[in-house]
Chains A and B, each alone.
Chain A
Amino acid sequence: MSKAKANKAQLAELFRSFIEPEFVITDDETLKPYECDGLAMYRTLPLIVVLPETVEQVQRVMRICHEHEVPVVARGAGTGLSAGAMPHKEGVVLSLAKFNRILDIDPLSRTARLQPGVRNLAISEQAAPYGLYYGPDPSSQIACTIGGNVAENAGGVHCLKYGLTVHNLLSAEVITAEGERITLGSDSLDSCGMDLLALLTGSEGLLGVVTEVKVKLLPVPEVARVIMAGFDSIAKAGDAVGGVINHGIIPGGLEMMDSHAIIAADDFCGAGYPREAKALLLCEVDGTEEEVSEHIAEAEALFRELGATSIRTSKNEQERALLWKGRKSAFPAVGRISPDYYCMDGTIPRRHLAKVLLEMEKMSEEFGLRIANVFHAGDGNLHPLILFDANAPGEFERTEAFGSKILELCVAVGGCITGEHGVGVEKIRQMAVQFNDQELQQFHDVKAAFDPLGILNPGKGVPTLKFCQEYRSLEHKQQRHEQAGAHHG
């Protein structure tokens, strides 16, 4: 294939021939809002931003970019937390913002057909009159879009019981790097051939651009009640999580907060959390009236038995909302006690919880940075918040190094470097810790099957092997240095 390089002006002209000129953005001032996603520490100004409004236009954008080998970064609401939607400086940002329509809700088959720019929460709002809702509920659900949810395999609080995006997605219409329009999956629960829909979900915009999706909807539970239980040690709270699950109860949500997060959240919104507790569990049970009464009584008894120092159970919707308010505002609450914070996202087998949290406390002292923990306890997904000051010289670099150590710790105990935020640019170094070169090469080969020229979101998700070798050798040197230091000390 002949490589026909085009400059910025030529590309813009090509796009303007079929997209309204004002939606082909080329000036720095208007490009500025697109320079980063929710992880604002990583920024790059793109060459051009386009906002197409039809699938045919998306297709044409892809064909032009493919022909000229121009990088394309698809973008939803830009709420991602791993710089997955950070632009490429020589590339085009393909915003799906205009694809914001809910195309159809079918209450009988319990499905919704959506354009990719539909907000996550809007799906449940539209489905509510039918007694239905959409399961995955990432914390950003008020703003994040379903297309981005597919790209990141978004999770949320209710995953243990209701699954991730991959479990709630029926089909996706995709424009490939080569500009082909394909549909992966169907209205049915499985499809013949390879499960490319599973591959697409969580692929961080590296395999295709989603232009339409169909999701499953679930019946809204009759009732939900939450138990708030305080514990005087992290280990006891961790045991209580295992205890509930071992008892055969799968909570709708099961969240844990450490003492720093408890106090910050309680100060922020007066949820009435036990401030002296070292760990707090929020255990939500949902289902039919009978089931919830049965399980709440059992879980309360279990928590008491396992050493809870305080227990409070919501008696009505108002109280349930109050108890959740502290957890839901944990991030802004922490934002109030520190100029900046950095939210990490690793997953661990739950049995290592106490060990990992203790280890993080130690690291916190070593790095001289405070840390607060909120945690999707049910599925082992940690969100350590490292508190720092971006204006203090060197503090962000230290924060990144600390974060990096946390992720490596997650891998060391059998977990992974990202539970739901994605690799993006942010965690690309740690991919070398989780995967060996053969595995990474296999990822590159899969990518090439969809995108032979590598124009979709280049530089994200999967690191080059050369980069990994350099990273590993640097790590190795550092370790040897530290060991030598320890001997001398």
Chain B
Amino acid sequence: MADQIDLLQEQVQHARSNNRKLNIVGGGTKAFMGRTADPDAGTLSLAEHTGLVEYHPVELVLTVRAGTTLAEIEAILAEQGQCLHFEPPHFGEASTIGGTLACNLSGPSRPWAGSVRDQVLGVRLLNGKGEHLRFGGQVMKNVAGYDVSRLQAGAMGTLGVITEISMKVMPKPAETVTLVQDMAMEEAVSYMNRRAGEPKPITGACWLDGKVYLRLAGARSAVEATAEQWQGSIMEGGEQFWRQLQDMRHAFFADRDAPLWRFSVGSAANLPVMEGQWMIDWAGAQRWYRGEAKLGDLEPIAKAAGGQVSLFRGGDRAGEVIHSQPAALKVIQRRVKQSFDPDGVFNPGRLYSWL
């Protein structure tokens, strides 16, 4: 439980006045993401900037310092029967909430519970000038000023140092059941989408190794009734399956060096099945692909499916690793970066080589 804001602010100001760059690091469990960190940049560690700032269970709102670990937050919430509904992946004990937001990481429940970006209500941010700013707040509805808080999701620290986060939390579901059945991949995409269109308590839909898994969670009566109406047998150890999926500890993810591609596409889109291994999550909206490929070759395929592709893990991380931007958006993103971090102090080249 430590507020290190003065120290962090001083480090940023020092870096700026000495024309140094900084790599922002929380628990250091997501070093594999994005482009390779600039080896010449110094490290700005948020690991000690931790602790609960405010938590009122009846408000469904939690405020924590960015270096607080997910494990610690979930333990605090569990005492009150609440949880982080977006099921953030833990890539280790040290994974922090700040890194989760910066990388916009959410788990299997994402299509129904929303993402970490969706749950953020406010942030405090150190910009590149070393100013400690507050955006958003601790209330669900807030349209005063631009939504700088959600802008941080997926920006990978290129806009500033997230120091504090307020977010919406939710009650834990009373009951959870997983239904599993054999199905071919092509059929599964359409099946999962049809099920997601029914007004039932579905919170997970995944296809892997010839089987489709649907998770039902919510009021006990509703879960039980739906489990009886829908096809598939009730899976023993279902919770463990989803937990492995959430933390990417499933065997599918075991090889950490081989390229792991992530297609984020329209949930019902047809994506050509290239040779390699596939896993489909988010009822079709997130498709994992293991295979040798070039980003430039996969981009048109992803685009045709209404989305984008990124090299999530492994492979060559010195080049670009996420879907390219059209020229006009490049211009705007460069200017937005400039507006937050005029001297380019933070995470140089981590998101794109040109940012």
Chain A residues at the B interface, C-beta cutoff of 8 Å = 106-111, 130-132, 152-153, 155, 159-160, 163-164, 166-167, 176, 180-182, 184, 186-196, 198-199, 201-203, 207, 219-222, 242-243, 245-246, 248-250, 287-291, 293-295, 347-351, 376, 379-381, 414-423, 427, 431, 434-435, 438-440, 442-443, 445-450, 461-462
29 residue pairs of the A-B complex, CB under 8 angstroms, read A108-B190, A155-B141, A159-B141, A188-B265, A190-B104, A190-B154, A191-B307, A192-B154, A192-B308, A192-B323, A193-B322, A195-B150, A196-B332, A198-B147, A198-B151, A201-B147, A290-B222, A294-B220, A414-B137, A416-B137, A416-B141, A419-B143, A421-B143, A434-B145, A435-B134, A435-B144, A439-B145, A442-B127, A443-B146
Per a CB cutoff under 8 Å, which of B139, B267, B336 touches A449? B336
A379 to B266 Cα, complex, angstroms:
30
Interface centre among B81, B199, B336 (most CB of A within 10 A): B199
B285-310 vs A, Cβ < 8 Å mask (1 yes, 0 no): 11000000000000000000111101
Q: Which of chain A's residues have a CB closer than 8 A to the CB of B59?
A: 242, 349-351, 380
Whether A191 lies near B264 (C-beta < 8 A) is yes
Q: Which residue of B155, B158, B266 contacts A187 across the interface (Cβ within 8 Å)? A: B266
Within 8 Å by CB of B141, from A220, A380, A446, lies A380
> Which residues of B289-345 have CB atoms within 8 Å of chain A's CB atoms?
305-308, 310, 322-323, 325-326, 328-329, 332-333, 335-336, 338-340
Is B209 at the interface (CB under 8 A from chain A)? Answer: no
Instruction: State which residues 168-201 of B face A: CB under 8 Å.
Output: 170-172, 174, 190, 193-194, 196-201
Residues on the B chain within 8 Å of A418, using CB: 142-144
Which residues does chain B contribute within 8 Å of A182, judged by CB atoms? 326, 328-329, 332
Indicate if the CB atoms of A132 and B197 lie closer than 8 Å.
yes
Which residues of B from 157 to 172 have beta carbons under 8 Å from A? 158-159, 170-172
Contact B268 A106 (CB under 8 A): yes
Please, how many angstroms separate the alpha-carbon atoms of A109 and B111 in the complex?
Answer: 11
Most buried by B among A201, A219, A220: A219
Which residue in B81, B117, B264 is a CB contact (below 8 Å) of A195? B117
Q: Which residue of B lies closest to A285 (CB)?
A: B219
- Whether A434 contacts B159 by the Cβ 8 Å rule is no
Which B residues are CB-close (under 8 A) to A164? 141
Give the residue name and chain of the A residue nearest to B132 (CB): A438
A80 and B114 CA atoms in complex are apart in Å by 27
Q: A294-B221, A422-B143 are in contact. Are A194 and B336 (CB under 8 A)?
A: yes
- B60 close to chain A: CB less than 8 A: yes
B128 CB, min distance to chain A CBs, angstroms? 11
Residue in A closest to B222 when the chains form the complex, CB atoms: A291
CB distance from B261 to the nearest CB of A (A): 13
* Contact A442-B340, Cβ < 8 Å, known A193-B322, A380-B139: yes
Mark out the residues of chain B between 5 and 51 whose CB falls within 8 Å of any chain A CB in the assembled complex: none
Bound complex: CA A296 to CA B283 (Å): 30
In the assembly, what is the distance between CA of A431 and CA of B144, in Å?
7
Contact between B146 and A189 (Cβ–Cβ < 8 Å)? no
**For residues 267 through 292 of chain B, which have their beta carbon under 8 Å from a beta carbon of chain A?**
267-269, 282, 285-286
- A199 with B151: in contact, given A152-B143, A462-B145 (CB under 8 Å)? yes
> Could you say which of A207, A219, A414 contacts B199, with CB atoms under 8 Å apart?
A219
B260 at the interface (CB under 8 A from A): no
How far apart sit A220 and B197, CA to CA, in the bound complex (Å)?
A: 9
B interface with A by C-beta (< 8 Å): 56-61, 81, 104, 110-111, 114-115, 117-118, 127, 131, 133-135, 137-148, 150-151, 153-155, 158-159, 170-172, 174, 190, 193-194, 196-201, 218-222, 224-226, 264-269, 282, 285-286, 305-308, 310, 322-323, 325-326, 328-329, 332-333, 335-336, 338-340, 351-352
Q: Which of B56, B194, B198, B200 contacts A108 (CB 8 A)?
A: B194
What is the bound-complex CA distance between A471 and B172, given in angstroms? 46
Nearest B residue to A220 via CB reads B199
Q: Are A448 and B335 in contact (CB under 8 A)?
A: yes
Q: Please give me the residue from chain A that is nearest to B112 by CB atom.
A: A218
Interface centre among A131, A186, A188, A414 (most CB of B within 10 A): A188
B184 to chain A, nearest CB (A): 17
Chain A residue at smallest Cβ distance from B321: A192
Given pairs A186-B264, A191-B264, A416-B142, 8 additional interface contacts (CB within 8 A)? A108-B268, A131-B197, A167-B114, A188-B308, A417-B144, A422-B143, A435-B134, A443-B146
> With A164-B141, A187-B306, A350-B58 known to touch, is A438 a contact of B131 (CB < 8 Å)?
yes
Please measure, in the bound complex, the distance between the C-alpha atom of A376 and the C-alpha atom of B30, giving whole angstroms.
39
Chain A residue nearest to B194 in the complex (CB): A108
Residues of A within 8 A of B61 (CB): 349
Q: Are A287 and B218 in contact (CB-based, < 8 A)?
A: yes
Contact: B221 with A290, CB < 8 Å? yes
- Taken together as a complex, chains A and B put the C-alpha atoms of A293 and B144 apart, in Å, by 39
**Inter-subunit contact A381/B141 (CB<8 Å):** yes
Q: Which residue of B lies closest to A421 (CB)?
A: B143
Assess the A187–B151 pair: CB atoms within 8 A. no
A352 smallest CB distance to B (angstroms): 10
Chain B residues near A193 (CB, 8 Å)? 154, 322-323, 325, 329, 333, 351-352
User: Chain A nearest CB: distance from B82 CB in Å?
Assistant: 9
User: Could you tell me the distance in whole angstroms from the C-beta of A377 to the nearest C-beta in chain B?
Assistant: 11
Assembly CA distance A294 to B269 (angstroms) = 37
Complex contacts, B326 vs chain A, CB 8 Å: 182
> Closest approach, in angstroms, between the C-beta of B339 and any C-beta of chain A?
4
Q: Say whether B339 contacts A448, CB under 8 Å.
A: yes
Contacts of A289 in B (CB 8 A): 225
Whole-angstrom distance between the Cβ of A361 and the nearest chain B Cβ: 22
A89 CA / B133 CA spacing, docked (Å): 34
Q: Which of B139, B151, B200, B265 is in CB contact (< 8 Å) with A194?
A: B151
The 7 closest A-B pairs by CB, nearest first: A187-B306, A187-B266, A188-B307, A242-B58, A198-B150, A445-B339, A291-B222
Chain B contacts for A443, CB-based, 8 A: 145-146, 148
Which among A184, A350, A462 has the highest number of chain B CB atoms within 10 Å?
A350
Contact A434-B141, Cβ < 8 Å, known A193-B351, A198-B151, A450-B332: no
Interface-central residue, B57, B61, B104, B221, by most chain A CB under 10 Å: B221
Give the Cβ gap from B294 to chain A, nearest Cβ, in Å: 16
Given contacts A109-B267, A190-B115, contact A246 B145 (CB under 8 A): no
Q: Which residues of A contact B329 (CB under 8 A)?
A: 182, 184, 193, 196
Kindly list chain B residues whose C-beta atoms are within 8 Å of the C-beta of A186: 264, 266, 306-308
User: How far is the CB of B208 from the nearest CB of chain A, in Å?
Assistant: 19
Residue of A nearest to B202 (CB): A219
Q: Which among B56, B201, B286, B329 has the greatest number of chain A C-beta atoms within 10 A?
A: B329
In whole Å, how far is B230's beta carbon from the nearest beta carbon of chain A? Answer: 12
